[in-house]
Structure 1
Amino acid sequence: MSTANPIPADLLERIAARAPGYDAANAFCTEDLDELRAAGYLRLGVPAEHGGQDLGLRATVAVQRTLAKAAPATALGLGMHQVWVQAARSVRARGGSFLQAVTDHAAADHLLAFGVSEPGNDAVLFDSSTTAEPDGDGGYRFTGTKVSTSLAPVWDVLSLFGKDTSGPEPVLVHGFTVRDDGGVTHHDDWDTLGMRATQSRTTVLDAVHVPAERIVRVLPVGPNQDPLTFGVFAAFELLVASVYVGIAERAVELAVTAVRDRTSLDGARRSDDPDVRRALADAQGAVDAVALQVDALARDVDDLVDHGARWFPLLVGTKARTVDAAQHVVDEALRVVGGSAYRAGSELARLARDVRAGQYHPSSRDSAARTIATALLGPIR
C-alpha cells in the first residue's frame, strides 16, 4: 500500500458491497478485517522500520473518514485498533516508551481492542468499577463487567482497566490481556439499531491475570494529564469523530446523486429546486466545518502543539459537534431524497441508524458541555 492510497479503491468497493449484509445479519465484518489486515491496515501507524506506513493521527483520521464512507461500522469497530496505535505514537512522541508493546503487537498484525467502558461509569478513564487485585509480583487480576467492547469476537489483545483499593489511596491500573490468558467471556448481546458489524459485546472479566510485564500504567483516580490519558483520549475522540465526518460526507453524496437523477411530473429537475439547493449547500457547509476541526486538532496532536488545559475541552467539543452535525446532515439528506430513502434497504436508511450511535460514545454532548463549562467557570462549588 502507498501512503497516498492506504486502502485501495477496489478494496473499498468490496467493503462497501458487504456492509448491507453485515448489517442485516447482525454479523461481525470478518471479511473486511481479513482483507484489511492483508493490505497492512493494522500497521498504518507503525514506524516504517517495523513494516508500517508510519502514519500519524492526521493521516489516520483521513483513512478512517474514507473507510467510513464505504462502511461506517467497519470503520468504527476497527478504528479501536487505530486508537491504540495512535495513542502509542503520541506517548512515544512525548518521550514515553511504556506503550511500546502496542506498537509491537500492531507490527505483528495483532488486533488491539478496548476493555474500558463500564455500565453506569460516566467518568470513563478517570475511575473504574472493575477491581484490580494485586498478585504480589507486580501483576493484577481484573474482575468486572465491560460494555461496548468492539471487536469482541476477534481481538488478539484487549486492554484492561480497573481500580486497586488495596493501598492507602485507590489507583487505576492499565494493562493488556491476550486471548490465551482466559478469564474473558463475551455475551452475544449486540443487537442494536445501528453500527451492528462492530459486534461491541458485553464482556465479563473473571479474575483475568495480567502479569507485571503487561501492566503499562498505574494512575491516581480522577482527572489527570498523564501521557496515557492524553494519548488515548485524543486519538479516540478524533478517530471516532472522523467516522461521523465520513457518514455525513456519504449522506451528501447520496442526496446529490438522488436529486440529480429525479424529475417531477412537469419535467422540472429536483436539483433545480431552490429549497433543495439551499438544504444541500447548508449540509455541505456543516460537513466542511467539522471536517476542518477534526483535521486541525489531529494535526496539532502530531505537531506536539501545546494547548495546555484547553486540550480536553477542544477534543470533547469537536467530537460532540461532529456527531450532532453528522446526524443533522443525514436527516436533511433523508428529507431531500424523499420516501425512497426511507426503505430499510436503502443506504441512507442504514446511515440514519449508524449515525445515531455517535451520541453514546464518550464524550456525550452533556459531558462535553460540562467539561467546557468547567474550563470556563471552574468546578461547581
Structure 2
Amino acid sequence: MTPEEVLPDHLLEGIRARAAGYDRDNAFFTEDLEELTAAGYLKLFVPTSDGGLGLGLEAAAQCQRRLATAAPATALAINMHLVWTGVARLLAARGDDSLGFVLRDAARGEVFAFGNSEAGNDSVLFDSRTVATPLPDGAYRFTGKKIFTSLSPAWTRLGIFGKDAEARGGEGELVHGFIDRDSAGYTILEDWDTLGMRASQSNTTVLDGAEVRADRIFRKLPVGPNADPLIFAIFACFESLLAAVYTGIGERALALGVEAVKRRTSFKNAGRSYAQDPDIRWKVAEAAMAMDILYPQLLAVTRDVDNLSDHGAQWFPKLVGLKVNATETARRVVDLAIRVSGGSSYFRGSELERLYRDVLAGMFHPSDDESAHNTVANAWLGPLEA
C-alpha cells in the first residue's frame, strides 16, 4: 500500500486541522489516535494474516513522513508504538520470534510505548540507571525514572529496561521487558509542558517496583555495546522512524514557504511577487536542495533494512547519520521557510511558528549530534587511542 492509501487525504486533513488546537491546549491527540486506530495505522507492521497491513520499514517510514506533514507531534508519539512493532517485525525477518507476542498484541489493539530513556544516561541502551531486581519465579521488579514516555495517556504496554547489578558475577546484566497498563508500581507524572511536540504528552514515568512477569522478560544482555540483534533492530527502527518524522516536517515547511513567497508582494517594487526576488529564490532553492538529498537517504537506509543488506560495521553510522541529517536538515529548512515567509510566521498560531518549535526537539533524541559523530568517526578511523 502507498502512503496515500494508508493515510488518505480526508484523514490527513482532519488530523492537520486539529494539530494547532492540541498544541495550544497542551492536549493529547485523542481524536487523531482514534481515527488512526480505526484506519489500521497502528498495525502497519502487523502481518496481513493477523489483520495488519504487513508493511516493512521503508513503507512505514514513508507513512510517518506523510503523517508528520500534518501533525508532527502525533507522528512522533505514534513512532514509539511503531518502534516496538517494527522491532518485532525486523527480528522475525531475521529468524528471531522473541517479540512475536508484540505483533500478536498489536493485532488485538494493544498500544505500545517506549520507556527506555533516562535522564543523564548517555550510554543509552548499553547501561541503565534503573534497578532491575530478580524475583524467584523469573519475574523482575524495576525501580527508576523514565523520561520522554510518549503516548503516556494511551499506552497499554510499556517497554522498559533496567540493570541487575549482581548478575554475571557482579558485572551486571541489562533486563528488558514490558509492563501492562494495569500493573502496580508505577506513576505517570503530568509534567509534559514543553516548547514543542506538545501533543505527544511524553510524560515522565516513575517505576517504583513495577513488576514484569517472566513471560514478558524478553532479553538479558551484558552491560556495554554488544551485537545482539535486538540492539540493531531498536536502532534501525528508532533512528529511521525519527528521521521520517523530521523529513515530513522539512517537507511541510518547504511547501509553506513556497506558498508564502508566491502570495507575498513587494511594496517597494510596485507589487511585484516575492517569487521574483533573487534573494528569496536562492533561499527557497537552498531549502529544496537540502530536502532533495534527504529523501533518497531515508529510502535507501530503510530499504536496506528490509532487504537484510549487510553493511557490517557501517550499519550504525548509516542509521545515526540518517537521523542527524534529517533533524538538522529539517531545522535548517524550517528556518529558511520562516525567513522567506515574513513576519506573520513569527506570530503565535502560525503553522510555521509551531513547526519551528517542534523541529527543535530533534536535537534531543538519541543519537545526539556528538554521539553520532563519534560513532561515524570510530567506524571510519577506529577508536581514539588511550
Q: Which amino acid aligns with 1:300?
A: D
Whole-angstrom CA distance in 1 between matches of 2:116 and 2:15: 28
In the alignment, which residue of structure 2 is the partner of 1:373? 377
Q: Deviations over 1:52-78 (max 9, x none)?
A: 010100000000000000000000001
* Contact preservation (8 Å) 1:163, 1:172: yes
In the alignment, which residue of structure 2 is the partner of 1:362? 366
* 2:310 equivalent to 1:333: no
In the alignment, which residue of structure 2 is the partner of 1:245? 247
Whole-angstrom CA distance in 1 between matches of 2:42 and 2:224: 32
Q: Deviations over 1:355-375 (max 9, x none)?
A: 000000000111101111222
Whole-angstrom CA distance in 2 between matches of 1:225 and 1:280: 43
Q: Which runs of 4+ in 1 moved over 3 A?
A: 1-4
Q: How does 1:61-72 map to 2 (within 5 A)?
A: 61-72=61-72
Whole-angstrom CA distance in 2 between matches of 1:225 and 1:64: 28
In the alignment, which residue of structure 2 is the partner of 1:130? 130
Deviation, structure 1 residue 4: 5.3
Q: Deviations over 1:89-124 (max 9, x none)?
A: 110011100010110111112110011000100111
Q: Report the 3-state secondary structure (helix = DSSP H, G, I; strand = E; otherwise coil) of the residue aligned with 2:289.
A: helix
In the alignment, which residue of structure 1 is the partner of 2:140? 140
Q: Deviations over 1:160-203 (max 9, x none)?
A: 10001122121100001111112121111111100000011111
Q: Report the 3-state secondary structure (helix = DSSP H, G, I; strand = E; otherwise coil) of the residue aligned with 1:137.
A: coil
Q: How does 1:28-39 map to 2 (within 5 A)?
A: 28-39=28-39
* 2:163 equivalent to 1:159: no
Whole-angstrom CA distance in 2 between matches of 1:160 and 1:28: 22
Q: Report the 3-state secondary structure (helix = DSSP H, G, I; strand = E; otherwise coil) of the residue aligned with 1:96.
A: coil
In the alignment, which residue of structure 1 is the partner of 2:220? 218
Deviation, structure 1 residue 143: 0.6
Whole-angstrom CA distance in 1 between matches of 2:20 and 2:210: 36
* Contact preservation (8 Å) 1:171, 1:220: yes
Q: How does 1:84-95 map to 2 (within 5 A)?
A: 84-95=84-95
Q: Report the 3-state secondary structure (helix = DSSP H, G, I; strand = E; otherwise coil) of the residue aligned with 1:158.
A: strand
In the alignment, which residue of structure 2 is the partner of 1:53? 53
Whole-angstrom CA distance in 1 between matches of 2:22 and 2:227: 39
Q: How does 1:218-367 map to 2 (within 5 A)?
A: 218-265=220-267, 266-367=270-371
* 2:7 equivalent to 1:7: yes
Deviation, structure 1 residue 3: 6.8
Q: Report the 3-state secondary structure (helix = DSSP H, G, I; strand = E; otherwise coil) of the residue aligned with 1:180.
A: coil
Gaps of 5+ in 1: none
1:179 to 170, 178, 181: 181
Gaps of 5+ in 2: none
* Contact preservation (8 Å) 1:28, 1:199: yes
Whole-angstrom CA distance in 1 between matches of 2:98 and 2:237: 17
Root-mean-square deviation (Å):
1.1
Whole-angstrom CA distance in 2 between matches of 1:280 and 1:139: 56
Q: Deviations over 1:117-160 (max 9, x none)?
A: 00100111111000110002211111100100001111010001
Identity among equivalent positions (%) equals: 56
Q: Report the 3-state secondary structure (helix = DSSP H, G, I; strand = E; otherwise coil) of the residue aligned with 1:5.
A: helix
* 2:40 equivalent to 1:40: yes
Q: Which amino acid aligns with 2:324?
A: A
Q: Report the 3-state secondary structure (helix = DSSP H, G, I; strand = E; otherwise coil) of the residue aligned with 1:152.
A: coil
Q: Which amino acid aligns with 2:250?
A: A
Whole-angstrom CA distance in 2 between matches of 1:267 and 1:38: 48
* Contact preservation (8 Å) 2:3, 2:63: no
Q: Which amino acid aligns with 2:280?
A: V
Deviation, structure 1 residue 379: 2.3
Deviation, structure 1 residue 258: 0.8
